Amino acid sequence: MTAENPYLLLTPGPLSTTPAVREAMLRDWCTWDADYNNLVEGMRRDLVALAVPDEAKRAEYTAVPMQGSGTYGVESVIGTVVPSDGRILVIANGAYGRRAAQIARTLRINTAELSYRETERPDAAETAEFLDENPDVTHVLMIHCETTTGILNDIESVAHEVKRRGRIFIVDAMSSFGGIPIDMDGLGIDFMISSANKCIQGVPGFSFVIARRAGLEKCAGRARSVSLDLYDQWKVMEEGHGKWRFTSPTHVVRAFIEALMELQEEGGVEARHKRYAENQRRLAEGMAALGFRPLLSKEVQSPIITSFLYPDKTFDFKDFYEFMKGEGYVLYPGKISEADTFRVGNIGDVHMKDIEGVLAAAAKYVKK
């Protein structure tokens, strides 16, 4: 920790970034200039390369950055991709799945929802059964890592059932893309959404959608919003070679490009996934030894963020939060309805020495 950054963010994003990522924002850029637009084009190619390991398949995909938070990206996809006569099935086992369903209903889209407990993974067989019984469902959306709890959903099994039935598959990979390997083409994902301030370790300011070109090309005129028209955003970027329709978050984009370079220097997604997984394993073991039991079993736990149960009824999270903040660590409150929990994330510029520091600080609190 430094005077510039007095505490480490142990959250699911925004997260702690490297000095080089922050430093990248010190220069101003012109949104119309070729120097900047060339950076954007390179960024778009890099995102497709991360999502599609098979180089021969990458030409079939495209990346579309969209101003705003991850939720803006989710709404841009739902509002642009589902036609007026379509029906979307949202598979939800947490707040972000429920939010996607709320977006669809608010946009007056015919919406179905398969709901699960927040500690329960969605079942692929139930998805298959629902699709067979509801042939009017044209699109299926699910969350990969549901940070409500930290559960990692089984998108592979669900994708298999969705694609066998010829439906469009949308994955909210907000808190997983860049930190967990995903083969978009191999799984048959048609649209995948993430954000600059998650596992790629940039700063907040834009989301992005990686899409199958053939699917996106069919979306002209479908959008229910001007500013969140994913098709028009893509069309302008294609024709303008990196030009955004409206004001681009230039400094955020440049920071994100630095973060992409740092991801490659670390060894790519596999290496970052290994670091996150080791962080999570040590955190969970160490916190359990102090009396903070993880909410989820190891089998469904993601390497992104961990929910911990309150150790007893007298536990005061606000007091614990302020103590840990004073020690240099910002935690995250719980979000589930089934139990009293708090959450600790380990994505961002967080390493094993930081996890050991968290555990040492938590031990001090327990002993005080």
What are the sequence ranges of the domains in the chain?
8-14+268-367, 19-265
State the fold for domain 8-14+268-367.
Aspartate Aminotransferase, domain 1 (3.90.1150)
Tokens representing 161 are 């059932």
**Number of residues written out for the chain:** 368
pLDDT of residue 133: 98
Query: Cα–Cα distance between 48 and 58 in angstroms, integer?
Result: 7
Laid out side by side, the sheet with 332-333 consists of 305-309, 341-345, 332-333
Q: pLDDT at position 255, please?
A: 98
- Which pLDDT score, from 0 to 100, does residue 74 have? 98
Would you say the CATH fold of 19-265 matches that of 8-14+268-367? Answer: no
Say what the pLDDT of residue 13 is.
83
Low-confidence residues in the chain, pLDDT < 50: none
Three-state secondary structure of 256-291: HHHHHHHHHHHCHHHHHHHHHHHHHHHHHHHHHHCC
pLDDT at position 34 is 93
What CATH fold (topology level) applies to the domain 19-265? Answer: Aspartate Aminotransferase; domain 2 (3.40.640)
Identify the pLDDT of residue 3: 58
For residue 1, what pLDDT is reported? 58
Q: Is 88 exposed, middle or buried (0-12, 13-18, 19+ CB in 10 A)?
A: buried
Q: Residue 66 is encoded by which pair of tokens?
A: 């969209």
